[in-house]
Amino acid sequence: MIKINREKDVIFLNASVTDFADSLGYCEYKIPLSIKGVKPRPTQSLILGTNAHHAEEKYEQEHVELEPVSIEQITDKETDIEFARENIFSTLMMPFEFPSENILLTLSGRIDKILRVDETLVVQDDKFTGRPQIYDEKTQPYPSQLLQVLAYLNSSYSAKRKPSHDDFFEMPHSRKKWQIRICDRKTRESYKIFSDYQDTFSLQYLHVSLQKFAMISLGMRQPEHHNSVHKCNACNLKSFCNHKI
């Protein structure tokens, strides 16, 4: 749910990473619905995907031994470290100064997997699907998937869901890399991996998308329609939306 609060001369815009990625990468008309508090029933696909995430987390807990990570290790960018699955929370804070408003956008999320190897910060997001074969011909991930990992890559991190200022930590690195793992939902086996290093283009894409998300949320610009019947038919908010086609 997207929340908007004003304190003195600053507007605080708070949302989840998935709210941001799903609306800018799939349908911008999800933004006003989220602001209104519309919550669709979870689809069967979402339920099965969530169950697969939980099973993967449980498997790692039972079969993979990860050494505790110290602050000294985190701050030394030459030290390879790996955090347990879904054990790190992200917070991305981005200020925007518009002619009439000052805005602080905050996106919160929970990362599937985060590690540092060879001075490279790596964020991994797993997508569990019943038909991974639909990705056979794709050379790039969906926009919503890419925006999600880019948001994680450029966040601050904490082991707490609701961190205080002292709970955040940075992971020094020489470069950043995102990885999207497409997995078979039944076997949880990796089927295809999209991966690349963050560059100037992808960082600009993230910043423009964050600004657009803030402007639509505050009514400074109108959402743009994707004009795709397929997207509307597949959307779990279509029964609430006056803009479906």
**Long-range contacts from 43-46, C-beta under 8 angstroms, 24+ separation:** 43/236, 45/129, 45/130, 46/236
Q: How far is CA 102 from CA 12, 28, 63, 207, 214, in A?
A: 9, 22, 48, 16, 11
Q: Which domain holds residue 96?
A: 3-234
User: Residue 202: inside a domain, yes or no?
Assistant: yes
For residue range 111-155, list pLDDT tens digits in order.
999 999 999 999 999 999 999 999 999 999 999 999 999 999 999
User: Residue 42: inside a domain, yes or no?
Assistant: yes
User: Residue 244: inside a domain, yes or no?
Assistant: no
Which residue type sits at 223? P
User: Residue 161: inside a domain, yes or no?
Assistant: yes
Nearest of 220, 198, 159 to residue 28 by alpha carbon? 220
Kindly report the CATH number assigned to the domain that includes residue 41. 3.90.320
The 10 Å Cβ neighbour count of residue 68 is 6
User: Residue 239: inside a domain, yes or no?
Assistant: no
For residue range 33-85, list pLDDT tens digits in order.
999 999 887 777 878 788 888 888 887 788 788 888 999 999 999 999 999 99
Residue 17 · residue 148 · CB < 8 Å: yes
Looking at the DSSP assignment, which residues form a beta bridge with residue 127? Answer: 182
Once rounded to an integer, what is the mean pLDDT over residues 203-221? 97
User: Residue 240: inside a domain, yes or no?
Assistant: no
User: Residue 243: inside a domain, yes or no?
Assistant: no
Residue 172 · residue 76 · CB < 8 Å: yes
Which residue type sits at 159? A
Residue 183 · residue 190 · CB < 8 Å: yes
Count how many domains the chain has. 1
Residue 23 · residue 17 · CB < 8 Å: no
For residue range 89-117, list pLDDT tens digits in order.
999 999 999 988 999 999 999 999 999 99
Average pLDDT, the chain: 94
The encoded tokens of residue 5 equal: 């609060």
- The DSSP 8-state label assigned to residue 236 in this structure reads T
User: Residue 86: inside a domain, yes or no?
Assistant: yes
